[in-house]
């Protein structure tokens, strides 16, 4: 998949490297250029120290989990594809202190293993709302996504994706207890108080008659206003259509008149013959020059055309 310019690579102790150049095709694969050296994930113990998770270190010391006699801790560290939910807060330390006073070694082991998911490297994109994960202790924890926050049971995830040698670790704000798998509280909504029916409320209800009638009057007035606006709009469209039709009609009349005048001009022509000029002047027959016929363009005083005479010497 092509990496965007904002793509990042997170390694080790949440070291972030930005991808500056992508998709360089080479023999056998593709190269992406990053701006920082990538760090190799270390063991969860080293990661806890590097991330300064001081409350969690105190919890481990308080429960005796760092003792060599507790082999179950070393067993978890050797398993691959593990998800750790690490409690690191003052509230978590207080809860661990109270439990350590009232719990035996077996119960303390159960509490430790309840924070470990074996066989599933649950990176943050893989954690879905309503998902149930089986812990190393045997019971399930429930993932809840609410208002953009992710919860493990009722504990909120404060930091995601510490990459470690055998999986991933997420920091939570409270201790998980297998005896209390409660979920986070649902967001509270402000309920609207229903009015109490009394004599005063009855009189108030009766007093609302006039505003309702006034509202109806306003709605009728609004309806008349809308109807008037629609009528004016339709009338304007009809007037505009009539004006356009009149302009087109006038233009056609002018075109027809011009066409008729051009046809009359085209019917007037001159025929040159040896006897004179004959004209077509709006009639079907040619008229000789000088004739006073209807449609002739010559006056009564016009003389007939003179026919040229040949000399006797040219008759032969």
Give the domain ranges of the chain.
1-40, 41-172, 247-302
Residue 206 reports pLDDT greater than 50: no
* Fold observed for domain 41-172: FAS1 domain (2.30.180)
**Class of residue 84 by CB neighbours under 10 A (exposed 0-12, middle 13-18, buried 19+):** buried
Give the mean pLDDT of 6-29: 82
Q: Are 63 and 100 in contact (CB under 8 A)?
A: yes
pTM attached to this predicted model? 0.56
List helix spans (H) across the chain: 44-50, 54-62, 71-78, 90-102, 105-113, 199-206, 209-266
Pairing of strands 276-280, 149-152: unpaired
pLDDT in tens, 150-175: 999 999 999 999 999 999 999 999 99
The pLDDT of residue 316: 47
Query: Under 8 Å CB-to-CB from 18, ≥6 apart: which residues?
Result: 6, 7, 8, 9, 34, 35, 36
Angle at 101 (CA atoms; ends 99, 105), nearest 5 degrees: 80
Q: Are 76 and 169 in contact (CB under 8 A)?
A: no
């Amino acid at each position: 998949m092509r990496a965007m310019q904002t793509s990042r690579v997170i390694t080790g102790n949440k070291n972030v490297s930005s991808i500056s150049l992508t998709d360089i095709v080479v023999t056998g694969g593709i190269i992406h250029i990053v701006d920082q050296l990538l760090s190799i994930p270390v063991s969860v113990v080293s990661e806890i120290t590097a991330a300064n998770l001081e409350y969690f270190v105190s919890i481990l010391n308080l429960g005796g989990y760092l003792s060599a006699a507790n082999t179950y801790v070393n067993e978890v560290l050797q398993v691959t594809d593990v998800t750790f939910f690490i409690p690191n807060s003052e509230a978590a330390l207080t809860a661990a202190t109270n439990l350590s006073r009232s719990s035996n070694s077996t119960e303390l082991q159960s509490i430790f293993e309840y924070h470990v998911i074996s066989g599933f490297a649950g990176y943050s994109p893989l954690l879905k709302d309503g998902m149930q994960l089986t812990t190393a202790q045997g019971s399930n924890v429930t993932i809840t996504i609410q208002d953009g926050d992710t919860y493990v049971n009722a504990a909120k995830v404060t930091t995601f994706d510490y990459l470690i040698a055998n999986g991933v670790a997420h920091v939570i704000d409270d201790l998980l207890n297998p005896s209390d798998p409660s979920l986070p509280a649902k967001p509270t909504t402000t309920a609207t108080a229903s009015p109490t029916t009394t004599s005063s409320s009855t009189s108030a209800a009766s007093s609302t008659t006039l505003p309702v009638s006034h509202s109806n009057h306003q709605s009728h007035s609004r309806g008349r206003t809308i109807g008037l606006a629609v009528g004016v709009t339709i009338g304007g469209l009809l007037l505009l259509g009539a004006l356009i039709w009149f302009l087109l009609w006038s233009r056609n009349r002018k075109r027809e008149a011009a066409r008729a005048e051009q046809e009359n001009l085209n019917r007037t022509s001159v025929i040159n013959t040896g006897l004179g000029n004959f004209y077509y002047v709006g009639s079907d027959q040619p008229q000789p020059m000088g004739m006073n016929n209807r449609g002739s363009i010559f006056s009564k005083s016009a003389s007939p055309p003179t026919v040229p005479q040949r000399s006797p010497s040219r008759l032969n």
